[in-house]
């Protein structure tokens, strides 16, 4: 009977970008590929817009707008990192539509980025990482390689402890 009052024990993460799903191990940066920041998946984006992959609150928006963090109601923290070494761009080519503390829903527009500008000097591969793995029991990831739709395609289900 008291099961009704329990929080659900998993969070579905949807793709924040249109593109191709890749295993995290394929990210061309060992910090992400070796899961030093956390576990997750990566996306090779086809369009330059990032949408919220979860319902939650923006807890971090880097001043350079190349990365942001969202915390779900369940306490799961999701980092979206646009491209590799894009912090070097100092915000050039990035436009944010949210601010820290703002509540977001799956599919809300978060950031626009200039794919062509990034591609000139940086890989586009974009990790989607769970940064607080201490509350995670297991992650079930969708297989990589397929085309995915932003805000529509589930890329992983994260089971909580």
Taking the C-alpha atoms of residue 72 and residue 123, their distance in angstroms, rounded to an integer, is 28
DSSP codes joined into one string, 5-61: GSPPSEEEEE-SSSEEEEEGGGSSSHHHHTTSS-EEEEEEESSSEEE-SSSEEEEEE
> What does residue 95 show for φ and ψ, rounded to 5 degrees?
-135, 125
List residues with catalytic annotation: 81
Number of neighbours of residue 109 by Cβ within 10 angstroms: 15
Q: How far is CA 119 from CA 32, 45, 78, 85, 125, in A?
A: 19, 11, 24, 11, 10
């Amino acid at each position: 009977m008291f099961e009704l009052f329990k929080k659900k024990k998993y969070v579905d993460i949807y793709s924040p970008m249109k593109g191709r799903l890749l295993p995290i191990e394929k990210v061309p940066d060992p910090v992400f590929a070796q899961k030093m920041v956390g576990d997750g998946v990566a996306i090779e984006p086809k369009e330059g817009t990032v949408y919220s992959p979860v319902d939650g609150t923006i807890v971090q928006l880097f001043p350079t707008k190349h990365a942001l963090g969202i915390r779900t109601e369940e306490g799961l923290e999701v980092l979206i990192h646009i491209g590799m070494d894009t912090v070097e761009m100092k915000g050039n080519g990035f436009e944010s539509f949210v601010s820290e503390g703002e509540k977001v829903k799956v599919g809300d527009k978060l950031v626009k980025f200039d794919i062509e500008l990034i591609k000139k000097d940086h890989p586009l591969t974009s990790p989607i990482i769970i940064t607080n793995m201490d509350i995670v029991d297991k992650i079930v990831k969708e297989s990589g390689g397929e085309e995915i739709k932003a805000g529509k395609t589930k890329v992983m289900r994260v089971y909580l402890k």
